[in-house]
A and B are shown apart, each in its own frame.
Chain A
Amino acid sequence: MKRDEIEFVAEVARAAAGLSIDGEPPYVLETRLGPVARREGFGSIREMLVAARQRREEKLLWAVVEALAVGETSFFRGMAVFRRLAEEMLPAAAATGRAGRPLRVLSAGCGSGQETYSIAMAVDEWGPAELGPRLELTGADLSHRALEKARSGLYTQFEVQRGLPIRSLLRHFEKREEMWAVGGRLKATTRWRRQNLLGDLKPLGRFDVVFCRHVLDGMDPAARERALAQLIGVLGEGGHLVLGEDEAAAGTAGALQRLGDGVYRRRGGARAAA
């Protein structure tokens, strides 16, 4: 890819989703955009970008953004935090508010759903038994293609061997020809929403726990700040925000208490302090 093409792609990604592709080597961009060009019927990335630039065609531009937004993913990435969710964060939330109310968890930037299903499995395997039926799980991502896969709950043999314990595979998946399918019980706890983190998250409602791991670090600073504010905005008082182990919620000390390993708790308002 030529410099002007990279600049064009960078600008599109930043404007649409706050993504920063600074420092990505051209071959990485080519690996991601090549399949999009082929799928959309172009002979090369260059041809696709010329068309996208001239026509400013929304669908094509989004296909580019989606391809750039795809991150690395696996089941139970950073296993310890899933245990903390099931053994500490959700039990703490369960003790607050109306008895028996739903416990709402958001998996923001869920990609193809591995994180979201890992949350459901963690609650089932490690959480107190009464929590499972109260879990209301939302997976949100801006990529239509990723969400389609997440919703299908179908994973390849390679995918189910990254991070997923074999006992969890046995317990929660069914074999369907060459693929592995998430079981109906797990799928029933989960709903999926197409959502740009730069957009308004309020319609999703309030959450007890928000997972947003290894998503913000791919954004430019202004977008990261805006997305963080949105995520905090949908967090109930005392709710937990879970970022990647090495990600920091910069500039949010007033709103969030840092608990370590990427986990933050939303401070109570004046009412809670009184």
Chain B
Amino acid sequence: MRTCLVVDDSRVIRKVARRIVEDMGFEVTEAGDGLEALAACRAGMPDAILLDWNMPAMDGVEFLRLLRREPGGERPRVIFCTVETGLDHIRTALDSGAAEYIMKPFDSDIVQSKFALAELL
């Protein structure tokens, strides 16, 4: 089964996202910020990462840059999922190695569409 790490500091959003991603056939693990996410990736690289931007301890972009320097860290397809909708933010995310970008609020159609665009489905 393919795996997805859902990273968001909101437990509610993690729960909503988890259900959507599980319905697409992924096994889901959760992390509450970038540091936790990095630890989770070191324990086992997921196929996909749904990644919030603004989080305590370590934000999404910082996590992504560090992830890409980890052994095997180039493999996960990363989809940002954030309230940041500025063009600068989107560009920064893509330049840091994200495959796709979701602007909150999201629904299952959007998540599914973005996973398909990121060639995860």
Are A157 and B86 interface neighbours, CB within 8 A?
A: no
* A77–chain B nearest beta-carbon distance, Å: 10
Are B86 and A175 interface neighbours, CB within 8 A?
A: yes
A157 CA to B82 CA, complexed, in Å: 13
Kindly state the interface size class of chain B when it binds its partner.
Answer: 10 to 19
Given A161-B110, A161-B113, A161-B114, also A166-B100 (CB < 8 A) = yes
**Among B48-56, B57-65, B87-95, the stretch in contact with A:** B87-95
Q: A162 on the interface (CB 8 Å rule)?
A: yes
Interface 1/0 per residue, A149-188 and B, CB below 8 Å? 0000000011001110111011000010000000000000
Are A162 and B113 interface neighbours, CB within 8 A?
A: yes
A185 CA to B102 CA, complexed, in Å: 25
The residue of chain A having its C-beta at the shortest distance from the C-beta of B112 within the complex is A162
A175 CA to B107 CA, complexed, in Å: 21
Q: A74 on the interface (CB 8 Å rule)?
A: yes
Given A157-B85, A175-B87, also A74-B113 (CB < 8 A) = yes
Which residues of A are in contact with B by a Cβ distance under 8 Å? 74, 157-158, 161-163, 165-167, 169-170, 175
Inter-chain pairs besides A161-B114, A170-B94, A175-B85, 16 sampled, C-beta below 8 Å: A74-B113, A157-B103, A158-B107, A158-B110, A161-B102, A161-B106, A161-B110, A161-B113, A165-B117, A166-B100, A166-B101, A166-B117, A169-B90, A170-B91, A175-B86, A175-B87
20 contacts between A and B (CB under 8 A): A157-B103, A158-B107, A158-B110, A161-B102, A161-B103, A161-B110, A162-B110, A163-B113, A165-B100, A166-B90, A166-B94, A166-B100, A166-B114, A167-B94, A169-B90, A170-B90, A170-B91, A175-B85, A175-B86, A175-B87
Which residues of B are in contact with A by a Cβ distance under 8 Å? 85-87, 90-91, 94, 100-103, 106-107, 109-110, 113-114, 117
